[in-house]
Structure 1
Amino acid sequence: MNNEAKNIPYPGIPTTSDGAGGVVWVEINITHGACAYPITSSTTMGTGYETAVSDGKKNLWGDVITFVQPESEHSAATTCEGFALAGGRVTNFTSGQGLVLMKEVLYTISGKRLPIVFHIGARALTSHSLNVHCGHDDVMSVSDCGWGILFGRNAQEACDLALIARRAAEAVETPFMNVQDGFLTTHTIENIKLPETEFMKEYMGDPNQKLRCLFDPMNPIMTGVVQNQDSYMKGKIAQRHFYDKVPAAVQEAMDLYYAKTGRRYRMVDTYRMDDAEYALVGMGGMMETAQAAADYMREELDLKVGVVHVTCFAPFPATQLVDALKNVRALTVLERMDNPLAQSNPLVQGIKASFADALTGLSFGSNGEFKYPKITSIPKIYACSAGLGSRDVRGGHFISIVKNMFADQPREYTVIGIKHALALSDGEDPDLRPQGAFSMRGHSVGGFGSVTTNKLIASFVGELFNIYVQAYPKYGSEKKGLPTTYYLTVAEKHIRTHSELAHVEFIPLNDVNAFNLGNPLDGIADEGSVFIQSPETDPQRVWDHIPAYGQKLIRNKRLKVFYLDTVKIAKEIATDPDLQQRMQGVCLVGIFIRVTPFASRSGMGDEQVLGAVEKYIRKYFGKRGEHVVQENLKCVREGLKSVMEIPWNVISAPAAPKAKASEEVVFAK
C-alpha cells in the first residue's frame, strides 16, 4: 500500500455486488423513502429497497425508511414529487417505457427545484418490437427535462455516482438521473467497494436539516401555480440561476469524493488521450471494453488510440470534450440508440456543436463563463450505433471502427455487431481479458438455477480468494424452459471487457441438448475442462453420446471431461418439489470447486471453502428458510464429492461403432 492509499479516510468496504445492489446499499442508508413502480431491468433495485423496508431498516439519521408503489411509473414520479415537496429525501428506480411515461412529471420536478435522484437501468424503448435489454434511447428521450444525467460504466461507478449525483442535486436544487446499463451493469456481479456508512453520513449530511419543506405553513412558498403571459417566461428563464451552478456542483461532488475515497471521477474521463490520433467516445459499459481494445491496438497494431467516456451527459461537458479531443485526427462516437431523422444522434450532435462553437470563438454557458480551448480545425467526427437491445459489443468491433477512420473512403455513419449494409465487418476478435484470466461459459436452461449459481460462485470466489470476478447471464424475456448462457471471468486485475465470452477455460453443460444446438465447446482453451450433466455412471457410455465433432475437439485440445447426474442429486435432496429443478444448478458450485484451480492454489481445505459458500447460500436462499439453506449446501457437497472424470484412455481410444437407436444413451431421463 502506498502512502497516498494510507491517507484515504474512506477506502470502501470490499465485497461483490451487481450495479443494482450498489445503488440499493447507498439509497437505503441516505434516503427517507422510495416511490417506485420498477420494471425490467430496474426491478432488482426496487425489490432490494423494499426488502430493506420490510426488515424495518432505518437510515443513517434514525428515520425508518418507507417504500411506496403506486399504480404506474407516472404515479410513482408524482409521488416522488410530493415526497420531495414535503422535504423528504426520496428516490426512484425505473427503465425504458416507464421512464418515458414519467416525462410529464419530470419537467415539474425540475421546475420546482426538487433535488431528487432517479436510478435508471437504461433499456431500449419498444418500437418495432419489445426489448427489455440495454439501450440509451429511454434516457435520451427525457434528456430535455432539466435533469442532470450521469452514466456509470460498471457496478462500482453505479454505486459511487449514486452519492455524487445526490450531493450535486442538493447543492443546486436540481434533480439528477444516475444511469447504468440495463442488465449489463444492473445484473452483473463484480468486485466493488461499498461506501462506509460513516462516510455517507458525512458526505451527504442530514436531510432533515438540509432539505426545504415547501409545505411548511410557517414558511409558505408559492409553487406549481398557473402563470400567464405576464409571468411564465420570467419564471422559466429565472431557472438558469440554478442551472448555471450545476457544472461546478458536479465537479465539487466528484473532487470531494476522490479526496475521501481515492476513487476519481470527472465529467469527461479520458484514457490514453495524450498522444492519441484516433479516439473512441461514448457512454456506459462498452467504453471499458473500448479501453481494453485501445491497449491492444497500441501494443499489437501500433495504432495510437484513446478513449473518452462521457460520465456527465447533463450538464453537457462541452469545453471538456473539445479539450480532450482537439488534437486527434478523427473520432467515432458510439451510442446505444439510433434516431435517423435527427442531424445526428444526441452525443454526436453535442460534440459537433461544441467544436463549431470553439472554432468560431464562442463560449459556453448563460454568460459565456466556460471558455473553449482555441482551435484552428475540427477533427473528423464519425458516428456509430452499437449495442442496441444489448447486442454484443466486442473488442474486435472497436478495431473495425478505428480502421474505418483511416480508410481511403471512411463511412460517416456505421453500425457494428449485425449484418447490414451500414455495418462494419467484425474482423479479428482478440482475447482482451487480463493476462492469466480464467473464464467459464455455461450452457443451461432457464429455470435450472444456473444464473443464481453463477452469481453465487462469483461472490464467494471474489471474496474468499481475494481476486477479481465478473459474472453475468445472457438474460432473455423468454428464457424459462429454453436454452440460456451464463458467463464468469476470474482474474488478478479488474476485468474491463463487458461482452459475451468467446475465450474460456471451463464449460459446464447443464443443457442436455447443447451439442445439438451448435458447438458449445467453441472457444475453449487447450487443456480446458468440460462438465456434462449425465445420468450415467459408466464413463464410456457418457463418452459415446458425445457427437463425433465434440469428441474430436476434446481429443485435439486434450480437454478434461467431468460428469455427474445433478438431476438425481437434486431430486434426492430437495424436499420441496418446486425447488428440485433449481437445485440441480446449485450442484455446479461443488463441481466448480473441484474442477477449477482456485481452491487448490489457495491451500484451503474443502470445509474452509464450503464455509464461505454457506455465507452466500444464506444470502441468496436464506429467505426461503433454514431447510432450504441446508439442502442447497448438501447439493454443493455432493457436487464436490461425487463429480467424476472420464479417463483419458477412454477419450483417446478409437471410436466405437455407433449404437443402435434403441440403445442410444441420453444425458438426462
Structure 2
Amino acid sequence: MDTNNKKAKYPGVRVAMDGNTAAIMCERESSDAAGAYPITPSTQMGEYWAEEAAKGHLNISDRPLIFIEPEGEHAAAAVTAGLSMTGLRAANFSSGQGIAYMHESLYAAVGKRLTYVLNIGARAMTKSTLNVHAGHDDYHAIDDTGFFQLFAKKAQHVADLNIIAHRIAELSLTPGAIAQDGFLTTHLIESLLLPERELIKEYLGRPDDIINTPTPAQKLIYGPTRRRIPELWDVDNPVMAGIVQNQDSYMQSVAAQRPFFFDHIKELADKAFEEYYQLTGRRYERVMTYRAEDADYLILGQGSVVPSAEVVVDYLRKTRGIKVGVVDLVMFRPFPADLISKILKGKKGVAILERLDQPLAADLPIAREVRAVLAKCLENGASKNKPPYPELSSYTAADLPAVYSGSFGMGSRDLQPEGIIGAIENMLPEGKKKKQFYLSIDFIRDVPYTPKQRAYQESIQEAYPHVKELAIKGSENPNLMPDGAITVRFHSVGGWGAITTGKNLAMTLFDLLGYDIKANPKYGSEKKGQPTTYYLAAAPEPIRVNCEYFFVDVVLSPDPNVFKHTNALAGLKKGGSFIIQSDKAKPEDVWADIPKPYQKIIIDNDIHIFYIDGFKIAREEATDPELQLRMQGIAFQGAFFAASPLMEKAKLTEETLLKAIEDQLQHKFGGKGQRVVDDNMRVVKRGFDEVHEVTNKVLGAGHSEKGNGEASLPIPTMLKEIPKSASSLSDIHRFWDQTGNFYLRGMGNDNITDPFIGLSVMPAVSSLFRDMTGIRFEHPEWIPNNCTACGNCYTVCPDTAIPGLVSELSDVLETVVKRVKNNHGKVEYLPKAVRQMESKIRQLFNENDKGVTVNNIINEAIDITISESGNGNGLAQEMEWFREELGDFQFALTRPYYSLHEKNQPNSGGLFSITINPTTCKGCMECVNVCDDDALRVTTQTEDSVARLRKEWDLWLDLPNTPAKFNRIDDLEEKIGPLETILLNKDAYLKFASGDGACLG
C-alpha cells in the first residue's frame, strides 16, 4: 500500500483496534441497514452494529441505523437483499458455515444487481471436525456466485477496502465481499489510520444521490443519470423481480450479465481505487506487489500471510541475496488475469500459499486461476496472428514460471517465518521442488516424543513411504521483529482473564508511547483450567510479522503451574524478564519451585525472575468475589511495568504511567461503574509495588529435575479404571498415547498428521484427562464429626467430585493391609494383628462419645495392639506402614449407616465417608452452601492439601463399593425411599465422567 498521507485531504485518525471493529467503524458511517446472524469469528461485527443502532447513531445520510437479526444466515442474506432492494446501503456479516448456508441466496442477489457488501471473517469450514478459526473455505465457497471479492491483509485494509467495496458495488451494480482472516485479523488489535466520517461522506455519498450513469448498459436501462443505489422495490414504480424463465430466455439472462455488467467491474474497481488514493494518499490495486519487479521468485497469497511474507523477503534478500518478492491478491473476483500475467512473466518460480485444501481438485483455487492465466499467456505467445487474449501478456516457454502450491494455516495453524522460508527454499535450484506441499505440520516427526510414537510412526512409514515428504520445513526461524520492539507472551489459564489483561496492556502501550501494536490472543477451544497463551508486541515502527511470537522480551505467567506442562522460557531473549504467580513468601522458595532444567536456562541466559502473588492482591482488593480470578491478571499489568525495562527506555514516571493505565481502565470498565474501575486500579498499583525479583539463583536448589516432552506422562488416575477397547478407534488408551498426553503437557501443536486425526473421532470419556487442580484456590474440607449423611453434598455437586461411600470396618482394614502388601512386599504379622484389632476398634467406638473421630480411634487401637503384642519391632514397623497407608482418611459414625444398624444388629454398622476427587473438583463450593451441619468448610488450597487429597482419593478408589445392606431405597421403580442414596454406589456415581469445561458450579 503506497501512502502519501502528508498531502492527503483525509489522512485518517490514528487508532488501535481489531479488524471487526475497523469494519464497523466504517459501516456505521456509510451504511443504512444490516441483516446478520451471529457466527464466530464475525459475531462481533454484528454485535457492534447492533450496539451502534441501539445508541441511535446517525450515519452520513443522517439516518438511524437499522438492524435485523433473523433466525439464521440464509434468512440474513434474504433480509440484506430486501434492504438493498429498497435503495438502502446495506451490509451483512458472516463466516464459515454461515456463508455456505446463505450460498444459494447470493446468486439471486447478483442477478438482481443489488449493491450490498458482505463482510466475511474468513473461517475454516467444518469437515472432519468443527473449527472456528481462520480458513479460506468460506471465501472460495462463493467464488462462483458473481460477487466481486476482496481480501484484506490487515485492519487498515479492512477499513479502507470496506469503503471501496461499497463504491465498486454501487458503480457496477454488483454485490461484493470483503474478507479478513478470522481471529488473525478480526480479533487482532493493531494500529491503523481510521477513515474519517467526512471522507466516507465525500467518497461514497448518500444512497439517494443522483449520479452520472457509469456504463453504457446502465444508460440503456436508467438513462444518463440514476439513483446511486437504485430502488428495485418501489411502490410508486412497481416491477416484478426474481421472475421465472424457461428454455426460451434463461440462457440469455445469464449470458447478458457478462458483457453488460461483469466485464465493467475491472475498470470501475481501478477507478474506485484511484479516487480513494486521491483523497487519502493510500493506494490500492487489484493486485499489489512487494519487491517483485526484480525478483526471481515470488510468494503469492491473500490475507494475513502477506505482511509476514514481506518481512521474510526483506530478510532473505539481506542475509542470503535471494531475489524474492510478494504478490498480494487483493481482488480475487474478477480474477486480475491481466496484472498477474505481467507480474509472473519471466520469473523462475511462484509459490502460491492458500489457507485451505481441496484434495480432490486438480489444484487449489488460486493456483487453478493462475495456471489458467499462464496457459492463456502461452496461447498468446504461440499465436502467429493477433493474440487471442489481448489483455494478457504473451509468453514463450522461457517466460513460464514454475508453479508451486502450498497449503498452510488451516484453522489458524500458526505459520512462523520458518514456514515461508521453507516455501521459498523449495523453489531454489538446490530445493526439493515439491509441487504440492503443506507448511507447519508433521506427518512424521524427525525425533519422536515417546517410544510409542516412534513405533507408531514406523508403522505409518511402512505403509506410506513418502508421506513425510508432503510437509516442508524451512532451514531457520529468524526473529523478524523491528528494532526497538518489545514482545510479551502470557501463559495463563482459561477463565482467568488473560485476554482482557493483554488488551488493556496493549492499549496502554499504544496510548502512552505512541507505539504500533499487535495484540494477538491465541483464541482456542481451551476450557476453564486449560493453559492459554496471549501474544503482544509494541514497536516504534509497524510490526509486519503475523504469527505467534517465539522470540520475546518478557514472559508473564499468571499460571503458577506453567513449568509442569510448558517450556515457558522458550524464545525468551538473553537478559529478558520472567514474571510468575507465586504465593511463596521468600524468593528462595520461588526459585525452588522451578525445575532444575529451567533453572539452568535462566542462569545461562541471565534471565531476570520476578514473582508476585496476584491472587492474594485480587482477593483483598476485589469487592466482587466473582472477579477475583480475572483481576489476578490485572496485577500482572502493574508488575510488567515495574519489572520490564520499558519505563526506563520510555522515560516514564510512575505518575504518568498510572494515569495512562487508569484512563484505559476507565475506557474498558467505566460502563460497569466506578467501583469496578477503582478495584482494578488498586490491583494494578499493588502489582507495581509488590513484584519482587529473585536474585540468588543457584543451580539445583529446590526440586529435582522434571523433563518436558521427552517421555510418556503417567496415565491419569481415573483412566486406569477404564478397560482397553477392542477397537482402536474407540480405545481411550490409544487416544491418550497418541493425542491426550501431548495436550496435557501443553504440546498439542505437536500432534502428527495421521489417519486417526484425519478421521477426527474421539473416544468417550476423554474428560478423564482433565485435572482441575490448577484452577482451584480453595477446596472443601470434610468435618466428619458434624456429618449426618444427609446426602445433600454429593447430590448437588455438578462435577461428581465429592462421592459418598459406606464401608464395612473389616473392608477398610483389609484394604489398607492390601495396600501395605503392594507397597512394602510380604508382611508377617500385620494380617493377624489387624483381625484382632477390629474388635478393639468397635469397643472404642462404643466407649467414646457421639463425636468420636474414627481415624483417631483406629490409631489408638494400633497403639494398643502394638503394646499387647509380643512381636516386638516387626509388628511395630508393619503397623507404621499401616498408619502411612491409612493417612488422614476420615470416616463418620452416622445415624443412618452406623447407629441404626448397630441397634438392630451389633457390629453391623458402617463407616460413612465423603472424599474429594482432586482432578474434577473446581472449587465451586456448592457442597458447602447446601450443608446445614457445618460438615463441609472452605479451606485454602496448598501443595500439602493437594497431596493429601490425592492420597485420600487413591485410597477411596481401592475401597470396596457400598454394600447392598446399606441401600435405603425400598422400591426404585416406585421411587420409594431416599433415591439420592443410589449415588453411594460407586458404579452409579462413576458413570458420570466429569472434567468438563463448564464454569464453576
> Smaller-chain TM-score range?
over 0.9
Distance 1:556 1:441, change over 3 A: same
Report how far residue 478 of structure 1 moved.
3.2
Q: Is 1:238 the counterpart of 2:256 in the alignment?
A: yes
Q: Which residue of 1 aligns with 2:301?
A: 282
Question: What is the CA–CA distance in structure 2 between the aligned matches of 1:228 and 1:611, rounded to whole Å?
Answer: 71
1:376 pairs with 392, 396, 401, which one?
396
Aligned amino acid, residue 239 of structure 1: Q
- Structure 2 contact 273–283 (Cα < 8 Å) conserved: yes
Residue in structure 2 matched with residue 633 of structure 1 by the alignment? 681
Superposition deviation, residue 589 in structure 1:
1.8
1:256 aligns with 2:275: yes
AA aligned opposite 2:697: I
Q: Distance in 1 between matches of 2:289 and 2:471?
A: 27
Preserved contact between residue 666 and residue 677 of structure 2 (Cα < 8 Å) = yes
Q: Which moved more, 1:311-320 or 1:633-642?
A: 633-642
For the pair 1:501 / 2:549, whether they are aligned, the reply is: yes
Partner of residue 481, structure 2: 433
Contact in 2 for aligned 1:534/1:668 (Cα 8 Å): no
- 1:415-454 map, 5 Å: 415-420=438-443, 421=467, 422-454=470-502
Query: Whose relative contact order is higher, 1 or 2, with alpha carbons under 8 Å and at least 6 apart?
Result: 1
Q: Give distance in 2, aligned partners of 1:369 and 1:53.
A: 49
| CA 1:288–1:294: 2 relative to 1, 3 Å | same
The whole-number CA distance in structure 2 between the counterparts of 1:341 and 1:369 is 29
Cα deviation for residue 38 of structure 1 reads: 2.1
Question: 2:866 maps to which residue?
Answer: none
Q: Relative to structure 2, which stretch is displaced further, 340-349 or 614-623? A: 614-623
Distance in structure 1 (CA, Å) of the matches to 2:381 and 2:85: 39
Amino acid at match of 2:701: A
Per the TM alignment, residue 602 of structure 1 is displaced from its structure 2 partner at its CA by: 2.9
Q: Counterpart of 1:140?
A: 140
1:549-582 CA-partner distances (Å, limit 9, x unpaired) = 1211111111111111111111222222222211
CA distance in 1, matches of 2:573, 2:202: 49
- Name the SS of the counterpart of 2:363 in structure 1: coil
Q: Distance in 2 between matches of 1:291 and 1:408?
A: 21
SS of residue matched to 1:493: coil
Indicate conservation of the 8 Å contact 2:349/2:427, yes or no. Answer: yes
Code of the aligned partner of 1:234: Q
Q: Distance in 1 between matches of 2:561 and 2:389?
A: 64
SS at 1:51 equivalent: helix
Deviation at 1:612, TM superposition (A): 2.2
CA drift at 1:492: 2.0
Deviates more, 1:23-32 or 1:54-63: 54-63
Q: How has the CA–CA distance of structure 1 residues 488 and 370 changed in structure 2, closer, same or farther, with 3 Å as cutoff? A: farther
CA contact (8 A) 1:42 1:93 kept: yes
Which is greater in Rg?
Answer: 2
Q: Which moved more, 1:600-609 or 1:41-50?
A: 600-609
Superposed CA deviations along residues 458-490 of structure 1, whole A, max 9, x for unmatched, are 112112211111111111123433111110111
Find out whether 1:413 has 2:431 as its counterpart.
no
CA contact (8 A) 2:600 2:699 kept: no
Number of the residue aligned with 2:229? 211
Instruction: Give the structure 1 partner of residue 515 of structure 2.
Output: 467
Do the aligned partners of residues 213 and 668 (structure 1) sit closer, same or farther apart at CA in structure 2, a change above 3 Å counting? farther
**How far is the alpha carbon of 1:39 from its aligned partner?**
0.7
Matches within 5 A, 1:642-653: 642-646=690-694, 648=695, 650-652=696-698
Q: Does 1:181 align with 2:177?
A: no
In structure 2, relative to structure 1, the CA distance for the partners of 1:615 and 1:29 (3 Å cut) is: farther
The runs of 5 or more residues in structure 1 that have no matched partner are none
Return the alpha-carbon distance in structure 1 between the equivalents of residues 574 and 703 of structure 2: 27
1:505–1:553 Cα change, 3 Å: same
More displaced stretch, 425-434 vs 91-100: 425-434
Does the aligned pair in 2 maintain the 1:124–1:131 contact within 8 Å?
A: yes
Given that residues 541 and 665 in structure 1 are in contact (C-alpha distance below 8 angstroms), is that contact kept between their aligned partners in structure 2?
no
Structure-2 change in CA distance of 1:656 and 1:65 (3 Å) = closer
CA distance in 2, matches of 1:245, 1:379: 30
Are 1:337 and 2:339 an aligned pair?
A: no
Which residue in 1 is equivalent to 2:422? Answer: 400
- Corresponding residue SS for 1:213: coil
Q: Is it true that 1:202 corresponds to 2:202 in the alignment?
A: yes
Where do 1:475-490 residues align within 5 Å? Answer: 475-490=523-538
CA change 1:302–1:99 in 2 (3 A) is: same
Gaps of 5+ in 2: 210-227, 444-466, 706-883, 888-940, 947-1001
1:356-395, Cα deviation, whole Å (9 max, x unpaired)? 11111299xxx98861122213111111111111111111
- 2:607: which partner in 1? 559
Are positions 1:391 and 2:413 aligned together? Answer: yes
Greater alpha carbon shift after TM alignment, 200-209 vs 526-535: 200-209
Instruction: Let me know the Cα RMSD of the aligned residues.
Output: 2.3
Q: 1:578 aligns with which of 622, 626, 637?
A: 626
1:85-121 per-position Cα deviation (integer Å, ceiling 9, x unaligned):
1111111111101110000111111111111111111
For residues 211-241 of structure 1, give each alpha carbon's deviation from its aligned partner in whole angstroms, at most 9, with x where no partner exists.
Answer: 2222212222331111112222222122221
One-letter amino acid of the counterpart of residue 74, structure 2: H
1:311-349, Cα deviation, whole Å (9 max, x unpaired): 101110011011111121111101011111112011000
CA distance in 2, matches of 1:513, 1:271: 44
> Quick one: distance in 1 between partners of 2:639 and 2:594?
20
Q: Which residue of 1 aligns with 2:368?
A: 349
The reply to whether residue 86 of structure 1 matches residue 108 of structure 2 is no
Structure 1 residues 349-368: aligned runs within 5 Å: 349-361=368-380
Size of the aligned set, in residue pairs, is: 661
SS in 1 for 2:208: helix
Asked if 1 retains the 8 angstrom alpha-carbon contact of 2:420 and 2:474, the reply is no
Please give the alpha-carbon distance, in whole angstroms, between the structure 2 residues aligned to 1:668 and 1:415. 48
Q: Is the 8 A contact 2:3 2:281 kept in 1?
A: no
Does the CA-based 8 Å contact 2:379-2:394 persist in structure 1? Answer: no
Amino acid at match of 1:389: G
> What does the per-residue CA deviation read over 1:130-150, in whole Å, with 9 as the maximum and x for residues that have no partner?
111100011111111110111
Does the Cα contact within 8 Å between 2:575 and 2:605 map onto a contact in 1?
Answer: yes
| Secondary structure in 2 matching 1:484 | strand
Moved more, 15-24 or 570-579: 570-579
Please say if residues 612 and 639 of structure 2, whose CA atoms lie closer than 8 Å, have aligned partners that are also in contact. Answer: no
Letter aligned with residue 167 of structure 1:
R
For residues 242 and 498 of structure 1, do their structure 2 counterparts lie closer, same or farther at Cα, with a shift above 3 Å needed? Answer: same
Tell me by how many angstroms 1:667 deviates: 12
Match in the other structure for 2:718: none
1:225 alignment counterpart: 243
Alignment of 1:251-330 (within 5 A): 251-330=270-349
Equivalent residue of 1:501, what SS? coil
Taking the aligned partners of 2:531 and 2:945, their CA distance within structure 1 comes to 15
More divergent stretch after superposition (202-211 vs 185-194): 202-211
Give the Cα separation in 2 of the matches to 1:3 and 1:348.
Answer: 30
In structure 1, give the amino acid aligned to 2:391.
K
Contact 2:599 2:700 in 1 (8 A): no
1-structure distance, mates of 2:944, 2:602:
18
- In structure 2, what is the Cα distance between the partners aligned to 1:549 and 1:191? 39
Structure 1 stretch displaced more, 248-257 or 278-287:
248-257
Distance 1:208 1:555, change over 3 A: same
Distance in 2, matches of 1:535 and 1:433, equals: 34
The answer to whether the 8 A contact 2:522-2:533 is kept is yes
Secondary structure in 1 matching 2:358 = coil
Q: CA distance change for structure 1 residues 417 and 408 in 2, over 3 Å: closer, same or farther?
A: closer
Which amino acid counterpart does residue 501 of structure 2 have in structure 1? T
Partners of 2:20 and 2:44 within 8 A in 1: yes
- Counterpart secondary structure, 1:505: strand
Q: Is the 8 A contact 1:416 1:426 kept in 2?
A: no
Q: Is this contact kept in 1: 2:4–2:282, CA < 8 A? A: no
**Pair 1:393–1:309, CA change in 2 (3 A):** same
